[in-house]
Amino acid sequence: MKLLAGNSNLALAREIADYLEIPLTDASVRRFADEEVFVEIHENVRGEDVFVIQSTCFPTNDNLMELLICIDALRRASAKRITAVVPYFGYARQDRKPGPRTPISAKLVANLITVAGAHRVLSMDLHAGQIQGFFDIPTDNLYAAPVMSADIQARFGDRNLMVVSPDVGGVVRARALAKRLNNAPLSIVDKRRERAGESEVMNIIGDVAGRFCILIDDIVDSAGTLCNAAAALKEAGAEEVVAYVSHGVLSGGAVARVEGSALLELVITDSIAPPDAVRDAKKVRHLPIAPLLAEAIKRIADESSVSSLFD
């Protein structure tokens, strides 16, 4: 087994390598003067089981091209099996046609990864489960819920917990976390989105008065939905509101929005390498997912069960 890291999240790749007690493959992933991506692998990978670790986060297109070119380099170097480890799968929110003459970009990216030469894909908390079906190769979708539930139990286990989905579409995810938290009660924020990037909270489904509310979501981008939901929950009588999110995109003024919100804390995984603004934010905390990804990689290499990680 070999691990090859792109530039999107080197810290996470190194933590995975440390957990598995193997070095990262010696390779150069660099740019020419005109920003073309160039990949050169400096050691033999012929007949090897290679895992390419690369989140397709901002800058999304650059990181995606790095992933594709790394896969192509490995295929041409005769690697036996290539697994694309994509902790955060960019373009996942474009998983359907929201209107006429619009693309399904998640399917396009799946096709690109497959055609580049990947034999399987490993990701975490895909925005929509059906994205697994966009690939014509085996795809494993990991869940951050075990890591989150352990952290919630350790920090807030003695509180009067209630799990809250910030929208109707996230109910399945929220229910799964609530089940892990000793079947904690569930509430839903009913929202109406007028246009992309903006949301308006309408009402709260469930009695949150006196509850310590745990908002759960897969992606926080502009943070408008989470901050509006937190404000609505506090108005409805919630004691405190904490948000747990798998992927902290946090673009634009999201960090400032979180810092000035009713949220007690925003907890995100390190699937995306945090910029300085996110790292320095007082209300943002990171959960490490390297052990989860490393264990899944080990099981894929050993041909053992990945799903048993979540039993």
pLDDT per residue as tens digits for the range 3-62: 999 999 999 999 999 999 999 999 999 999 999 999 999 999 999 999 999 999 999 999
Residue 140 labeled ligand binder: no
What is the model's pLDDT at position 191?
Answer: 74
Residue 276 burial (CB count, 10 A): 7
Residue 94 labeled ligand binder: yes
Domain limits for position 152? 145-288
Same domain, 152 and 238: yes
State the pTM of this model.
Answer: 0.94
Instruction: Give the β-pairing of 37-41 and 27-31.
Output: antiparallel
Same domain, 193 and 100: no
Same domain, 302 and 274: no
What is the model's pLDDT at position 194?
Answer: 63
Output the furthest CA–CA distance in the chain (Å, rounded): 61
Confirm if 245 and 220 have CB atoms less than 8 A apart. Answer: yes
Residue 223 labeled ligand binder: yes
Same domain, 125 and 246: no
Number of domains, the chain: 2
**What span, in angstroms and rounded, lies between the C-alpha atoms of 203 and 271?**
31
pLDDT tens-place string over residues 169-182:
899 999 999 999 99
Same domain, 99 and 29: yes
Same domain, 257 and 210: yes
pLDDT of residue 296 exceeding 80, the answer is: yes
Same domain, 23 and 83: yes
* CA 132 to mean position of chain CA atoms: 14
Residue 158 labeled ligand binder: no
b (16+ CB within 10 A) / e for 4-24: bbbebbeebbbbbbebbeeeb
52 strand-pairing partners: 4, 84
pLDDT tens-place string over residues 126-167:
999 999 999 999 999 999 999 999 999 999 999 999 999 998
Same domain, 156 and 281: yes
Same domain, 218 and 259: yes
pLDDT of residue 202 exceeding 80, the answer is: no
Q: In 3D, which of 54, 41, 64 has the Cα closest to residue 8?
A: 54
Residue 221 labeled ligand binder: yes
Same domain, 12 and 121: yes
Confirm if 259 and 266 have CB atoms less than 8 A apart. Answer: no
CATH of the domain at 204: 3.40.50.2020
Residue 247 labeled ligand binder: no
Residue 258 confidence class, pLDDT cut points 50, 70, 90: very high
The set of residues, in sequence order, having a beta carbon less than 8 Å from that of 86 and lying 6+ positions away, is 54, 55, 56, 67, 113, 121, 122, 123
Active-site residues, by number, are 191
**What span, in angstroms and rounded, lies between the C-alpha atoms of 301 and 116?**
21
Same domain, 155 and 240: yes
**What span, in angstroms and rounded, lies between the C-alpha atoms of 37 and 35?**
6
Residue 303 labeled ligand binder: no
Sign of the alpha-carbon torsion through 215, 220, 225, 230: positive
Same domain, 124 and 171: no
**What span, in angstroms and rounded, lies between the C-alpha atoms of 141 and 147?**
15
**What span, in angstroms and rounded, lies between the C-alpha atoms of 108 and 104?**
7
The set of residues, in sequence order, having a beta carbon less than 8 Å from that of 104 and lying 6+ positions away, is 94, 95, 96, 97
Helix/strand/coil percentages in the chain, nearest 5 = 35, 25, 35
Residue 36 labeled ligand binder: yes
